[in-house]
């Protein structure tokens, strides 16, 4: 298995051609199809395979090029049904990508699927999504926490090495702690929320899960920085958070 490794470890394997993006995507798809924790809302497999095949040489420092990931189902994703785990939004297909999805796409990351959550992010247990109770991969009689339950489960099960979530109260930090991985809620305004379905505007933050603190650092480096489409976005430019850490 490759996807139980960190982003930085996978990057070294990709640069040295020890593995290809397509091999990573195919492995992830196989594991996702065996999911029994109710972690997913929608998949993007055909597009993910096509993108993996199109990726050429990967240079050192292109950390996310060729790396598969998943995103909580409250991020707008063009052409992919986005319901925020609510029957109210069944059939809604956005026409645009959230800013963080766009930045990851430009960096060469490969979106595999949208993950389940507490309905409209209004919960902390992972049990209120319209597809039922999400289960802790370590003990399926227990919860994974919420509201970003599906993304936490995906990283914990080794389906992907990182995943996007959102955090208003503790919706990234709690599930990360319950499934034994790392989760970060960045400073409010540090990451653009354009395309993230709002819950509480003065508290909502884009967050993310990973298998190491260093991976959280390189994610923050990529995603931080001003976005004119988000009026609450900080004008402070990004920096090398891996070096700073």
The residues that are catalytic are 72, 147, 171
- Three-state secondary structure of 13-46: HHHCCCCCHHHHHHHHHHHHHCCCCCCEEEECHH
Location of structure tokens 């597809």: 131
Give the distance, in angstroms, between the CA of residue 97 and the centroid of all CA atoms in the same chain.
14
Q: Which two tokens stand for residue 67?
A: 């790396």
Instruction: Name the burial class of residue 90, with classes exposed (0-12), middle (13-18) and buried (19+) by CB atoms within 10 angstroms of its CB.
Output: exposed
> Cα-flanking dihedrals φ and ψ of residue 154, to 5°?
-60, -45
């Amino acid at each position: 298995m490759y996807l139980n490794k960190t982003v930085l470890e996978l990057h070294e394997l990709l640069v040295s051609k020890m593995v290809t993006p397509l091999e990573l995507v195919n492995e992830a798809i196989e594991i996702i199809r065996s999911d029994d924790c109710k972690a997913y809302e929608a998949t993007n497999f055909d597009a993910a395979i096509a993108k993996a095949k199109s990726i050429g040489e990967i240079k050192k420092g292109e950390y996310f090029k060729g790396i598969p990931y998943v995103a909580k189902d409250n991020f707008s994703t063009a052409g992919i049904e986005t319901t925020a785990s609510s029957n109210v939004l069944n059939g809604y297909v956005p026409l645009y990508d959230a800013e963080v999805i766009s930045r990851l796409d430009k960096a060469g990351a490969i979106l595999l699927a949208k993950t389940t959550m507490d309905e409209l992010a209004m919960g902390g247990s992972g049990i209120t999504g319209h597809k039922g109770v999400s289960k802790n991969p370590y003990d399926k009689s227990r919860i994974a926490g919420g509201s970003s339950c599906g993304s936490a489960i995906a990283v914990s099960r080794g389906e992907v090495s990182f995943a996007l979530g959102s955090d208003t109260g503790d919706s990234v930090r709690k599930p990360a702690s319950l499934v034994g991985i790392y989760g970060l809620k960045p400073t409010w305004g540090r990451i653009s929320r354009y395309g993230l379905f709002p819950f509480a505007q003065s508290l909502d933050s884009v967050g993310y899960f990973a298998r190491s603190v260093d991976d959280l650092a390189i994610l923050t480096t990529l995603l931080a920085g001003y976005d004119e489409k988000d009026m609450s976005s900080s004008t402070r430019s990004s920096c090398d958070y891996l070096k700073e850490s």
